[in-house]
Amino acid sequence: MGEERIFVVGDIHGCLDMLNRLMDKIRWEPDKDRLIFLGDYIDRGKDPKGVVDYVLALAKCSVSVECLIGNHETIFMEYLSGTDRGLFLMNGGWRTVESYQEDKLKELNSLVPPDHLAFFKSLKTYIELENHYVVHAGFRPNVPIKEQSLDDMVWIREPFIYSDYDFGKKVIFGHTPFSEPLVMENKIGLDTGAVYGNRLTCLELPEMRFRSVGT
């Protein structure tokens, strides 16, 4: 039996068509392979709700589907709770509102299906693999992994990206878009700007093989 394959998928942002094509391309096998999503399923793209439906359908096929929380899921939950509605809408959240709010007369809170709410509440902050950590945005240098704040794990940019700090394992992350995957000694960035007209990217481990699809 060969080594377990692990597929890590970058930020989708409502780009359901690209996600469909990427999954066809990587040929994930539900009974054999692990599948990890880096977060930011919603906002900005055409079909945020459809992306969540698709990921939930994949999760029903396999216990090896794991989903991280991104900053966009964080602010969506804050929007639904009424604690901060402006930040969500300013970050492309209006696309998500449109996606769920088919009946314009009803409150969005009542239109988000229970399984979607459960999905958002179940999202993980980070995943530890044998040789890698997987997180949405990154980690704060000089802070132990178990002491990292949620705010940093879903929002951090420059202090993490420009650091050569050794976290003990190479960090796979999304959140900050690059034209091509970012590969450094201590980190791998997989957000390649799918929603900005570029590509949706997946990293296959342990082969370190990148697969992507464009618009």
CATH number for the domain whose boundaries are 6-209: 3.60.21.10
Task: Give the model confidence (pLDDT) of 78-105 as tens digits.
Answer: 988 888 778 888 888 889 988 998 655 4
Domain locations in the chain as residue ranges: 6-209
Note whether 140 and 156 are within 8 A (CB). Answer: yes
Asked if 155 contacts 173 with a C-beta cutoff of 8 angstroms, the reply is no
Query: Can you point out the beta strands (E) in 82-207?
Result: 126-128, 132-135, 170-173, 182-183, 187-189, 199-205
As a whole number of Å, the end-to-end CA separation of the chain is: 36
Q: Is the pLDDT of residue 1 over 50?
A: no
pLDDT over threshold 70, residue 44: yes
Closest alpha carbon to 161 in 134, 131, 182: 182
Q: Which residues contact 12 (CB under 8 A, 6 or more apart)?
A: 18, 19, 37, 40, 41, 45, 51, 194, 195, 200
How would residue 38 be classed by pLDDT, with cut points 50, 70 and 90? very high
Strands (E), the chain: 6-9, 34-37, 65-67, 126-128, 132-135, 170-173, 182-183, 187-189, 199-205, 209-214
Asked if 139 and 152 touch (Cβ cutoff 8 Å), the reply is yes
Instruction: Return the minimum-mean-pLDDT range out of 1-10, 99-108, 148-157.
Output: 99-108
